[in-house]
Amino acid sequence: MLSEHSLDNLKGVGPKQLEKLHKLGLFVVQDLLFHLPLRYQDKTKLTAIENAVVGSEVLIEGEIFSQSLTRGRRSSLLVKIQSTQGHFLTLRFFHFHYRQAQQFTRGKILRVFGEVRSGPNGLEMVHPSYQFISVEDNPALETTLTPIYPTTEGLGQASLLKLMQQAMNLLKQYPLKELLPTALLDELQLPDLNSALFTLHQPQPEDDLRNIKQFSHPAQQRLIVEELISQQAGLQLLRQTEQKRLAPALAHSQTANALLASLPFALTHAQQRVLQEIQYDLALPHPMQRLVQGDVGSGKTVIAALAAIQAAEAGFQVAVMAPTEILAEQHLNAFLEWLEPLQIPVAWLNGRLKAAEKRFQLAQIASGEAKVIIGTHALFQDAVVFNRLGLVVIDEQHRFGVHQRLALHEKGQNQDTHPHQLVMTATPIPRTLAMTAYGDLDISIIDELPPGRKPIDTAVLSNEKRSEVMEHLYLKCKQGIQAYWVCPLIEESELLHAQAAEVTATQFSDNWPDLRVGLVHGRLKGEQKALVMNAFKNHELDLLVATTVIEVGVNVPNSSLMIIENAERLGLAQLHQLRGRVGRGDLQSHCVLLYQPPLSETGKARLNIMRDTNDGFRIAEEDLKIRGPGEILGTKQTGGLQFRIADLKRDSQWIPTAQYWAKNLVAQDAKIVELLQARWVGHKIDYQHA
Ligand SMILES: Nc1ncnc2c1ncn2[C@@H]1O[C@H](COP(=O)(O)OP(=O)(O)OP(=O)(O)O)[C@@H](O)[C@H]1O
């Protein structure tokens, strides 16, 4: 069984080599088969010197004509070989042994392999691999192209190649089971699994592998598609299990209409549509699993509140979880303002409640007295026992990771029904990425901003202009606007991070004593943070100097100027989040992105995207292209998105196809899905001849 056949069963694998193989993530023979070459060398045919093209890698034979040493401090060895047609090629060795040099005597025949380049004396090869050829010793040419594998220090290509050969011999004996439907392979014109593996590890000279580096060769694509289908099928299974569970069917709520009537604004069309989707789901007897994506400031909080009312009115509790205390507190304020007049009791749980207060809140939650409970991850604690949990709202889901999401969900398990689940994210996620990261959820998109919002005017400036920008900010604040100054994380140290913000805050206070400056950073206690935030909200402060703790959700509509330092170091999605703290009211807002020169071309291009658009979805697409999924989803979420061969940045065009086929498979062939999962996720048996 190749999926269980440990690598130390192969010839030549000792403990040291095993360690190196493990370092490459290779444990069983099947892993070797999925360890794909990066490129190939063609040693199957000889090229005449006169036909060698500069820049290409070729195998050449010739007779040694001369050898010499160059002059200078570090001399190099030059060996000139001549073809039967009388053309010359120079071999150049920078490092060589005296004994090695002696071998290259005139008249001997050499077979060399390397990249041809043009040197001072015509064509040359630097450090080619070479062997001597004679009438008695004339080894045959290779019959297949030679793969070059990703490797690690201390494990040479030659050893890896030997192991691969053994693995391929085993594969001939025990072919892997084809798990993809023939219809799919036919439609996409992709090869079957075993021939794909043979093509990639032992390609025939006529195989066209030019696309290999882009991973666009059909043999590679076949593997990518299979891995993506397996991942999608996993998500579909999760979804199916959830759909089979029971949830309380929550009837449409009259009280929600009362809130709508009391709001000083009407919902946008997009908000109405998303609200309807949620209301419909909540009325079904199976758990809703919905992700609401809305660009910054699109008004997600009120939608969450309306969903909460529907659950509360039906007699169920609602848990609302936010990723930071600042955000949880802000939700608390909004929910208190909206729900208290409707006689819906709101409870509040955070890490800094005094013991007595905490006991009281926990008792309210356990008795069912508290209907809507707002908090941070404090909501996970064992001490928190819900009475009748009907809906879980998770804001900024990517900060939590799938496991935490599920953990809160399981809190509703003491009942015969499961709670509904509403996940909200303000980071627009490109469609293909959302399908992969949240494929188990239905997706609603609020793709409209409330009327009257003006796009934020963004400027990109060098840090050399810092003092001018500070001065400008001061003058603006004197005219009555409020501003943010963000000092992003430069070092991976909360302390240094906080210090950078402190220094800036002091600079402002020293220069302009009449400017009311507040400071928030991650090292402040929750209480202090809340005090500063409230003061800023009530316009008792003109300027808030902050670290990226204010990134998500902070809502102070009167602030209309934001400066972000070291903007070049942040991802676009994060910059978009930060910038979204302004432009939330009727005022024309401005954002200045300061960068530390010199700025690379890509760096410039990235910041210019921020200057040119306010559209979060476009920014996210660009970010995906430039920085990959980790940047958009956060590391916790991408931890579960590690693929062996597929790459979300490179292969996203396959995701819709993979989702389609995964749905089919989950509906029709549970056995195959199980085998796929075992092959790509676990190391279980999935071989025909097991
Ligand atoms: N339809 C609407 N018309 C006008 N204002 C609205 C509308 N919906 C929400 N708002 C207001 O817009 C502001 C932003 O809303 P909210 O804080 O819910 O945004 P959000 O989508 O959570 O944004 P972010 O993800 O950036 O925090 C709030 O002050 C809210 O009261």
Banded pLDDT at 685 (limits 50, 70, 90): very low
CA–CA dist 381, 377 (Å, integer): 8
What separation, in Å, do the N-terminal and C-terminal C-alpha atoms of the chain show?
5
Beta bridge partners of 79: 67, 91
Q: Which residues are paired to 457 by β-bridges? A: 590
Centroid of ligand 1 to alpha carbon of 587 (angstroms): 15
> How confident is residue 460, by pLDDT bands cut at 50, 70 and 90?
very high
* Residue 653 tokens, joined: 């065009």
Token couple for 429: 């996620």
Pocket of ligand 1 contains residue 28 by CB under 6 Å: no
pLDDT: is 574 or 506 the higher one? 506
Residue type, 160: L
Q: How confident is residue 682, by pLDDT bands cut at 50, 70 and 90?
A: low
**Cα-based angle 474, 480, 485 (whole degrees, multiple of 5):** 45
Show the tokens assigned to 477: 């604040």
Q: 40 phi and psi, to 5 degrees?
A: -135, 155
pLDDT above 70 coverage of the chain, percent? 91
144: pLDDT confidence band, cut at 50, 70 and 90? Answer: confident
Residue 28, pLDDT > 50, answer: yes
Mean pLDDT of the chain: 86
Ligand 1 contact via 220 beta carbon (within 6 Å): no
| Residue from 382, 400, 410, 385 nearest 317 by CA | 385
User: Is there a common fold for 49-133 and 254-446?
Assistant: no
For a mutational test of ligand 1's pocket, the pick from 326, 393, 423, 555, i.e. the residue with the most ligand atoms closer than 8 A to its C-beta, is 555
User: Which helix (DSSP H) or strand (DSSP E) does residue 648 occupy?
Assistant: none
Q: Is 426 in the pocket of ligand 1 (CB under 6 A)?
A: yes
Contact indicator for 218, 416 with CB cutoff of 8 Å? no
CB 318 within 8 A of CB 345: no
579 in contact with ligand 1, CB cutoff 6 A = no
Torsion sign, CA atoms 476, 478, 481, 484? positive
Q: Whose CA is nearest to atom 5 of ligand 1?
A: 450
pLDDT score for 684? 31
Ligand 1 atom, smallest distance to 330 CA = 17
Angle, nearest 10°, between helix axes 218-244 and 193-201?
A: 140
| Architecture of the domain delimited by 49-133 | Beta Barrel (2.40)
pLDDT of residue 216: 81
Residue 689 has what pLDDT? 26
ipTM, interface predicted TM-score of the complex: 0.97
How do residues 181-192 score in pLDDT, each as one tens digit? 999 999 999 999
Q: Fold for domain 254-446?
A: Rossmann fold (3.40.50)
| Distance (Å) from CA 537 to ligand 1 centroid | 15
- State in Å: Cα 621 to ligand 1 middle: 23
Q: Where are the domains of the chain?
A: 7-41+146-214, 49-133, 254-446, 457-613
Confidence grade of residue 653 (pLDDT, cut at 50, 70, 90):
confident
pLDDT of residue 166: 94
Class of domain 457-613: alpha beta
Residue 585 Cβ contacting ligand 1 at under 6 Å: no
Contacts (Cβ under 8 Å, ≥6 apart) of 428 = 293, 295, 573, 576, 616, 617, 619, 620
Cβ 580 under 6 angstroms from ligand 1: yes
Q: What is the pLDDT of residues 336-386, one digit of tens each?
A: 999 999 999 999 988 778 889 999 999 999 999 999 999 988 887 778 889
Mutate which of 301, 550, 586 for ligand 1 pocket (most atoms within 8 A of beta carbon):
301
